[in-house]
Amino acid sequence: MRRVTIHDVAGKAGVSTAAVSHAFNDPERLRATTVTRILDAARELGYAPNPHARALHSQRVGVLGVLFPQPIATVFANPFFASFLEGIGSVTDERGIGLLTVTPVGGSLERAIAAAPVDGFVIIGLDERNADVAPLRKRGVPFVVVDGDAETASSVNVDDEGGAHAAAEFLLERGHREVLVLTFHAPPDELDKDLGVRGRRLRGYRRAFVERGLSLDDDAVVRTFVTLAGGDSAFAQAWATGARPTAVLAASDIMAIGAMRAAKRLGLRVPGDLEVIGFDDIPLAAASDPALSTIHQPITEKGRVATRLLIRELDEGGPRERIVLPTELLLRDSTRAQPKKSRTLAIAKGGTEREGKRTLKAAAR
């Protein structure tokens, strides 16, 4: 069957092919009645513009990339990313923009970036100085960094250090001293340094210990993969080597839920024998058994904010922004009951305490 062309639409609508092109690409250049007539003719004929031709005309492909440094299987094993993509998708749907997830190709992030047909990137979990990211600026490809540091690009982060500090402080105030910290797996060349989100959360945990004259020993910090299995195996291995923690601080909820699963398999009661606090507040946190106490961060909003910043740069350019969103300690059933007035402790500037429908003002930390 012959493909319907722009010439067919022009003939049916009684206009030039240039007018058809304007109707799809620059409708403001035509009268509204003419645009309507052309679009009606195109719809009747089943015509759709050639996407490659439109890209050449506008110098845009109408697609944004979300760049993950992890393999795609690892990305989808972490529910955090579903909430994050929900935020991004809410903006791209509203604007009629496509979305492409970009992960390493054959282990190479550089190859994946070079092959991605996108107008710009939301980059999660990498600093602007990363060797794979830096070339984007030289090529003039706009990007926004999420959960990473940036100097020339906009960035969106949360108060990772403040949130981690509040979680550790809460457990230390309750008398816990044998605390196991589960943090993110690090590649071999980064074992001697803690960067980005991993570094900020560890600094928050450590600062709470230091403020009480305590130390968080290196053997109490376990690096593992951000998956249910990662948290499970990390806790089980620590227990097998003789660790007897009374509390767990996990740098992600999915690791915390994995740790609780291992603890219950070992005969420990949560929170009776072991109190656990995660980080992120993914939807599964409230639905876990027991419901997980955690540091809430606005995951979906983080995706929305980053996407709006990227679209603004594509449309208008303008100054770069460094945005830090608040975090909040939410106490649920994986920590022992507290008086009602302190069930939820705000830690962000301008934050509030919340329990159910009650809202209590809290001092900023």
At 45 the pLDDT is: 86
Please say which residue of 58, 79, 100 terminates a domain: 58
Q: Which amino acid is at 299?
A: I
- Give the number of domains in the chain: 3
Report pLDDT digits (tens) over 279-319.
999 999 999 999 999 999 999 999 999 999 999 998 888 78
Tell me the two tokens of residue 265.
């398999």
Q: Give one word for 45, left, alpha or beta, with left for phi > 0 and alpha for psi -120 to 50.
A: alpha
Strand partners, 147: none
* Stretch 343-355: mean pLDDT: 38
The verdict on 178 and 282 lying in the same domain is yes
Tell me the two tokens of residue 87.
């935020």
Q: What letter would DSSP give residue 292?
A: P
Helix 6-13 and helix 32-45: axis angle, to 10°? 120
* Stretch 262-290: mean pLDDT: 97
- Angstrom distance (rounded) from CA 70 to CA 142: 21
Contact 248, 180 (CB under 8 A): yes
The verdict on 51 and 98 lying in the same domain is no
At 190 the pLDDT is: 58
The verdict on 73 and 200 lying in the same domain is no
> Other CB atoms closer than 10 Å to residue 44's CB: what's the count?
12
Is 288 contained in some domain? yes
Residue 245 has pLDDT above 50, yes or no: yes
Strand partners, 221: 181
- Angstrom distance (rounded) from CA 102 to CA 64: 10
The verdict on 235 and 353 lying in the same domain is yes
Nearest Cα to Cα of residue 147 among 234, 276, 251, 223 = 251
* Stretch 50-62: mean pLDDT: 57
Contact 112, 75 (CB under 8 A): no
**Strands ordered across the beta sheet of 275-280:** 221-224, 179-184, 247-250, 275-280, 293-296, 328-330, 344-346
Model pTM score: 0.77
Report pLDDT digits (tens) over 62-112.
899 999 988 888 888 889 999 999 999 999 999 889 999 999 988 888 888
pLDDT above 70: percentage of residues in the chain: 86
Contact 325, 160 (CB under 8 A): no
Give the range of the structural domain holding residue 21, as residue numbers without chain letter.
6-58
The confidence band for 113, taking pLDDT boundaries of 50, 70 and 90, is: confident
Is 1 contained in some domain? no
The verdict on 206 and 348 lying in the same domain is yes
- Angstrom distance (rounded) from CA 328 to CA 159: 9
Is 343 contained in some domain? yes
Measure the CA angle with vertex 14, ends 8 and 20; round to 5°. 60
Torsion of CA 134, 135, 140, 144, to 10 degrees: -40
Q: Which amino acid is at 222?
A: V
The verdict on 244 and 311 lying in the same domain is no
* CATH number where 171 lies: 3.40.50.2300
Residue 194 has pLDDT above 70, yes or no: no
User: Given the DSSP bridges, would you call strands 328-330 and 293-296 parallel, antiparallel or unpaired?
Assistant: antiparallel
The verdict on 271 and 188 lying in the same domain is yes
Residue 42 has pLDDT above 80, yes or no: yes
Contact 304, 87 (CB under 8 A): yes
* Stretch 259-279: mean pLDDT: 98
Q: Which amino acid is at 346?
A: A
The verdict on 311 and 290 lying in the same domain is no
Which of 5-14, 126-135, 210-219 is predicted with the least confidence, judged by mean pLDDT?
126-135
Q: Which helix (H) or strand (E) holds 354?
A: strand 352-355
For residues 48 and 110, the model is more confident at 110
At 139 the pLDDT is: 78
Residue 146 has pLDDT above 50, yes or no: yes
